[in-house]
Amino acid sequence: MISGQFPATRLRRNRRAPWLRAMVRETRLTPANLIWPVFLTAGPEPEPIATMPGVMRHPLGALAGLAREAVALGIPALALFPNTPADRRTDDGREALNPDNLVCRAIAELKSATDAIGVMTDVALDPYTAHGHDGLVDAAGHVLNDATVDMLVGQALNQVRAGADIVAPSDMMDGRVGAIRRSLEADGFVDTHIMAYSAKYASGFYGPFRDAVGAAGRLRGDKATYQMDPANAREALAEVALDVAEGADSVMVKPGLPYLDVVKAVADRFDVPVFAYCVSGEYAMIEAAVAAGMLARDRVVPEMLLAFRRAGAAGVLTYHAPMVARLLGA
């Protein structure tokens, strides 16, 4: 017997049956909370990514099927990331402005397949530059903020004209959200959503992603002069405040699981939707542990995504999106 004053508090009463646990559950995860990142290839066949087991680069001809699959699973949006052919990567990243580039053609494929899926595009130059940086660089290798912002504005307009619903600046240049918002408004795209990568850290968890977009081995130097220091949390709030003031409709924290404190701090402080990106390194770690028999994928992945939701994230970009959506719909 539990000693003390009656009636005894027994918190286990609310855990005694599945229906009761479901009824009192504080945090819910649904397919509507998931965004599915999709890698693109200019080639005719799917290409496996060695450092991301189970993830492929998809040719344009496969995108209609992916869109229909996402709609059937209840996933609301796909996020596109191109592996730009090497002969189209230049120091000035001009392929980002090409209305017939891989991303723009992918948007057209998706939009012709269904109106029921949202299309999100990455606004940054690293998939297009020969040097691997998110912006333009000078002779000394310094990333140029304002010149890069001009390019990002053109890139965003190029994507929106092709039909993108959400543009997501991931470059971390100062002032780019405001410049993109002004240009979209001036061009008549008043309803385009900007999801700003507001707190994107200079992280070691991005390695497999760079393999996926063909940037591995290209980077000259590092990105620490524009992506955030992993030691800083208060600075993330300043970044978010600037992006919201400049016209961001939602904001993102990247990476995800190691930065749940930042997700929570942002969600508690700001009245805009907060998203998190469960990045390639996080995915790869889980898949390695699953392959070694150490973890059960079907159990740990939903648990991890619930942690994002519990911290305050409205949604999560995750390579596990279709798998989790199937589990949730089972």
- Whole-model pTM above 0.75? yes
- What per-residue confidence (pLDDT) applies to 9? 85
- What per-residue confidence (pLDDT) applies to 215? 81
For the residues of 245-299, what is the DSSP string, one character each? HHT-SEEEEES-GGGHHHHHHHHHH-SS-EEEEE-HHHHHHHHHHHHTTSS-HHH
Which CATH fold would you assign to the domain 29-329? TIM Barrel (3.20.20)
Contacts (Cβ under 8 Å, ≥6 apart) of 84: 42, 95, 101, 102, 127, 128, 213, 214
Apex CA 199: angle with CA 245 and CA 205, to 5°? 160
Confidence of residue 220 (pLDDT cuts 50, 70, 90): confident
Tell me the two tokens of residue 209.
């992603």
Does residue 217 register a pLDDT over 80? no
**pLDDT, mean of residues 143-165:** 98
Place of tokens 């912002």: 149
Q: How far apart are CA 243 and CA 259, in angstroms?
A: 19
Q: How far apart are CA 28 and CA 309, in angstroms?
A: 7
Averaged pLDDT score across all residues of the chain: 96
- What per-residue confidence (pLDDT) applies to 3? 61
For the residues of 105-164, what is the DSSP string, one character each? HHHHHHHHH-SSSEEEEEE-STTTBSS--SS-B-TTSPBPHHHHHHHHHHHHHHHHHHT-
Before 273, cis peptide (omega within 30)?
Answer: no
Confidence of residue 8 (pLDDT cuts 50, 70, 90): confident
**pLDDT, mean of residues 251-255:** 98
- Residue spans of the domains in the chain: they are 29-329
Its sign, for the CA torsion 64, 70, 71, 72, is positive
Does residue 312 register a pLDDT over 60? yes
- What per-residue confidence (pLDDT) applies to 219? 83
**pLDDT, mean of residues 185-212:** 96
Does residue 227 register a pLDDT over 90? yes
Nearest to 124 by CA among 99, 100, 95: 95
**pLDDT, mean of residues 257-275:** 98
Does residue 244 register a pLDDT over 70? yes
- What per-residue confidence (pLDDT) applies to 330? 64
- What per-residue confidence (pLDDT) applies to 302? 98
Place of tokens 């053609």: 105
- Is residue 51 a contact partner of residue 284, using CB atoms and an 8 Å limit? yes
Q: How far apart are CA 227 and CA 323, in angstroms?
A: 31
Active site residue 254: yes
Nearest to 125 by CA among 59, 170, 164, 87: 170
Residue 19, classified by CB atoms within 10 Å of its CB into exposed (0-12), middle (13-18) or buried (19+), is: exposed
**pLDDT, mean of residues 260-289:** 98
The SS3 of residue 104 is helix
**pLDDT, mean of residues 238-264:** 98
**pLDDT, mean of residues 258-284:** 98
Active site residue 200: yes
Tell me the two tokens of residue 52.
């991301």
pLDDT tens string 71-89: 999 999 999 999 999 999 9
Confidence of residue 218 (pLDDT cuts 50, 70, 90): confident
Does residue 1 register a pLDDT over 60? no
